[in-house]
């Protein structure tokens, strides 16, 4: 009997100590808050990455428009012209600039030559695309606006561009299929779209369109 009394007393004392102990409070509180902390941390990292990708895609669009506006082949006793090989090199430069984004697999580069048609309206004389993602131009395919004046400008409604007679604008759309790095199951794939436009630096043989003299270069149509 005395042993039972001693055991019961020990159990009561142990229970009292456990009741008064706060050693596990921090662990329990952390267990409750950890999911929210991890969500905030992941969200912060994702937001930073998303912002950086936005900036990179925008820079690619500007660079492609700039390179395409400069590209030309001099013609003896004639006006310079742009060739398919020049367009392909501009696309290749954009792909190198993209680096790990792998635009060829995850995005779409759309280059359009915006010019003035015979009636004074804007039209897309030619259009070339690069990249395997299934995106199309938001402002019209090749040949849009060939006649009439229905199209007064190309681009987002609040910042449309319009070519002047005898000159062309290299209009670029870059669409990138963004893949989250941490919370893909929640966000999913979010296409990032950026546009840029550059006026062709000097005279260009617009009637020739995108020339393809021998040896012929691959033509990256948007079909």
pLDDT in tens, the chain (223 residues): 556 666 667 777 766 765 666 666 667 776 777 777 777 777 788 888 889 999 999 999 999 999 999 987 766 667 888 999 999 999 999 999 998 898 899 999 999 999 999 999 999 999 999 999 989 999 999 999 999 999 999 999 989 999 999 999 999 999 999 988 876 655 667 799 999 999 998 888 898 899 998 888 999 999 8
Q: Would you state the pLDDT for residue 3?
A: 63
Bridge partner list, 126: 113
Q: Would you state the pLDDT for residue 57?
A: 96
Q: Would you state the pLDDT for residue 40?
A: 73
- C-beta of residue 80 within 8 angstroms of C-beta of residue 190: no
User: What values do phi and psi take at 221, rounded to 5?
Assistant: -70, 170
Taking the C-alpha atoms of residue 132 and residue 3, their distance in angstroms, rounded to an integer, is 82
- Per domain, the residue ranges of the chain are 33-211
Closest C-alpha among 102, 130, 107 to residue 176: 107
DSSP 158: T
Q: Would you state the pLDDT for residue 208?
A: 85
164: left (phi over 0), alpha (psi -120 to 50) or beta: beta
Rounded to two decimals, the pTM is 0.81
């Amino acid at each position: 009997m005395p042993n039972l009394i001693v055991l019961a007393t020990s159990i009561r004392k142990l229970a009292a100590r456990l009741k008064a102990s706060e050693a596990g409070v921090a662990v329990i509180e952390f267990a409750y808050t950890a999911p929210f902390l991890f969500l905030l941390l992941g969200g912060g990292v994702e937001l930073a990455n998303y912002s950086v990708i936005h900036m990179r895609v925008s820079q690619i669009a500007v660079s492609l428009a700039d390179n395409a506006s400069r590209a030309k082949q001099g013609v003896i006793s004639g006006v310079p012209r742009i060739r398919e090989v020049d367009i392909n090199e501009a696309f290749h430069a954009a792909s190198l600039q993209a680096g790990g984004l792998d635009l060829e697999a995850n995005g779409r580069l759309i280059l359009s030559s915006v010019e003035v048609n015979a009636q004074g309206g804007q039209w897309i004389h030619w259009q070339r695309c690069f990249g395997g993602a299934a995106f199309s131009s938001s402002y019209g395919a090749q040949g849009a606006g060939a006649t009439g004046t229905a199209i007064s400008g190309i681009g987002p409604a609040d910042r449309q561009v319009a070519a002047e007679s005898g000159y062309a604008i290299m209009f670029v759309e870059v669409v990138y299929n963004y893949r989250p790095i941490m919370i893909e199951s929640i966000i999913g794939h979010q296409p990032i779209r950026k546009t840029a436009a550059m006026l062709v630096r000097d005279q260009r043989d617009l009637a020739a369109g995108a020339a393809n003299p021998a040896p012929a270069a691959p033509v990256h149509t948007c079909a």
